Amino acid sequence: MRGVWQTTGTLSAVIGVLWTSAAAAYPVNSTLAINSTQSSLKVEASSFPFSDSDTHNLTGTINAQFDFRDSGSFPANGGLTFTSGAIAPNADYNLTLGFPPVLGVNIDPSGLVGTLSTPLPPGVMTRTGASGVVYQFDASQYLLTINQGTIVVTGSADQTTDLSQEPVTGSAMHGTLGTMTFTTLGTSGPYTQLSAAMDFPIDITQSTETDSGMTVDLHLTGAVRATSTFWVALSGIAGDFNQDGMVSAADLPIFKAHNGMASGATAATGDADANGRVDGNDFLVWQRNQGTRPPSSGVTAVPEPASVVIAAVALGGVLCWKQRRGRESFATGGSPR
Ligand SMILES: [Ca+2]
Ligand SMILES: [Ca+2]
């Protein structure tokens, strides 16, 4: 399978005066909502000389985790990890090839729901030279799992796959690029409010053979657009030892556990002033910044480009029913980076 994303945007970074030293990097979770009117998946099946296609819009959400480190701006490389979500076509597909029931098949996937995950977190996105804050990422870092729905093949073949019993998984081919664009909406203290927009083009081709010996080429094309808005301290926040984006009592146990450390200390081990040691001065920094938190925390996550791949994978999974047995995954993808 393949997927590609595109996006564009602009940004600006802010550095809080009180928060500039030894800030800890922290990931931010945000739920991306799929824009159904701009997201759709066309499934085309062909077996010479027949072909049929069906197109439906996609709905759902994708939970993503962004990590800009503590660069104070948008780094050359950031973290992009999909943690969960639910992506689904807004209607069932119905494809017919040839002349069922003797010389053809009906392919009917229904109730498909998939989710996106990151087998080797964190996923990585790389900033491009484009104007604005645009990152590209290799979609092969992410795994799509379809674990809801049923695929029924009737006609010259008779196969039913319950995806809740036999979930199908797959990744985009290595080198399939997606795009994430960030736009700065405003600032508050050390925090910057960002709008994230993902565009995920889909272009997946797969060939399979049914029980009846019919070779079917599946071509899945489409695009997924999903957006979210969240706050992030691009420079990190001194005293945020547990790296959750805010300074609170929850950070204190970490300071206490490392108090007295004479060298090699980091923001994550209680060093708030970046001198490599953990002592009373770090406590004072924590105390001064205590209560620092985003204006509103959108700490949640859900995936998005997975939906398209889902339907494709499901279809391929059904048709490859026999070949697939004994395999954990029929789609392959390289690891990015
Ligand atoms: Ca904290
Ligand atoms: Ca220190």
**DSSP secondary structure string, 93-119?**
--EEEEETTTEEEEEEEEEEEEEEE-S
Q: pLDDT (tens digit, 9 = 90+) per residue, 251-274?
A: 999 999 999 999 999 999 999 999
How many angstroms separate the alpha carbon of residue 180 from the centre of ligand 1?
27
Which protein residues have their CB within 5 A of the ion that is ligand 1? Answer: 240, 242, 244, 251
33-42, 45-54, 317-326: the lowest-pLDDT one: 317-326
Starting from the CA of residue 278, give the closest ligand. Answer: 2
Helix (H, G, I), strand (E, B) or coil at 326: coil
Name 57's bridge partners: 40
- Cβ of 100: how many Cβ atoms within 10 Å? 16
Give, as residue ranges, everything with CB less than 5 Å from ion ligand 2.
271, 273, 275, 277, 282
Using the predicted structure, report yes or no on whether residue 327 has a pLDDT greater than 60. Answer: no
- Mean per-residue pLDDT, 303-311: 40
Residue-level pLDDT at 168: 77
Query: Can you tell me the distance from the alpha carbon of 63 to that of 82, in angstroms, rounded to the nearest whole number?
Result: 6
Q: What is the model's pLDDT at position 6?
A: 26
**Residue-level pLDDT at 25:** 64
pLDDT digits (tens, 9 = 90+) for 106-149: 999 899 898 889 999 999 999 998 888 999 999 889 887 889 99
Residue 82 has pLDDT above 50, yes or no: yes
* Domain spans in the chain, listed from the N-terminal domain onward: 25-235+294-324, 238-291
Average pLDDT for residues 231-255, to the nearest whole number? 93
**Distance between CA 329 and CA 143 in Å, rounded?**
10
Cα(250) to ligand 1 centroid in Å equals 6
Residue 318 is encoded by which pair of tokens? 């059904």
Cα 242 to ligand 1 centroid, rounded to whole Å: 5
CB under 8 Å to 50, separation ≥6 — which residues?
A: 97, 98, 104
User: Of residues 218 and 331, which shows the higher confidence score?
Assistant: 218
Tell me the C-alpha to C-alpha distance, in Å, between residue 56 and each of 40, 112, 123, 130, 223.
6, 12, 29, 32, 11
CA 142 – ligand 1 centroid, Å: 28
Q: Which ligand is nearest to the CA of 286?
A: 1
Of 117 and 168, which is predicted with more confidence?
117
Cβ atoms of residues 261 and 270 within 8 Å: yes
Q: CA-to-CA distance for 195 and 77, rounded, in angstroms?
A: 18
Q: How far is CA 229 from the centre of its chain?
A: 15
Q: Which residues contact 315 (CB under 8 A, 6 or more apart)?
A: 43, 45, 93, 107, 109, 151, 206, 218, 220
What is the whole-number distance in angstroms between the Cα of residue 79 and the centre of ligand 2? 27
Ligand closest in space to the Cα of 283: 2
In this prediction, residue 103 has a pLDDT band, given cuts at 50, 70 and 90, of confident
Model confidence pLDDT, tens digit, residues 2-16: 332 222 222 222 233
Which ligand lies nearest to the CA atom of residue 240 in the structure?
1
Give the CATH number of domain 238-291: 1.10.1330.10
Higher pLDDT, 296 or 225: 225
Read off the pLDDT band of 329 (50, 70, 90).
very low
Which numbered ligand comes closest to the C-alpha of 247?
1
Average pLDDT over residues 29-47: 92
The identity of residue 181, as a single letter, is T
CA 172 to chain centre: 12
What does the pLDDT read at residue 24? 60
What's the whole-number average pLDDT of the chain?
Answer: 80
Q: Tell me the HSE value of 99 on the side-chain side, using a 13 A CA sphere.
A: 2
Question: How far apart, in whole angstroms, are the C-alpha atoms of residue 150 and residue 137?
Answer: 31
When pLDDT is cut at 50, 70 and 90, the band that residue 324 belongs to is very low
Rounded percentage of the chain residues whose pLDDT exceeds 70? 79
With pLDDT > 90 as the criterion, what percentage of the chain qualifies? 51
pTM of the model: 0.74
Handedness of CA 327, 328, 331, 334 (dihedral sign): negative
Residue 315 is predicted with a pLDDT of: 45
What is the C-alpha to C-alpha distance for residues 161 and 328, in angstroms, rounded to an integer? 15
Measured in Å, residue 25 CA sits from the centre of ligand 1 at 11
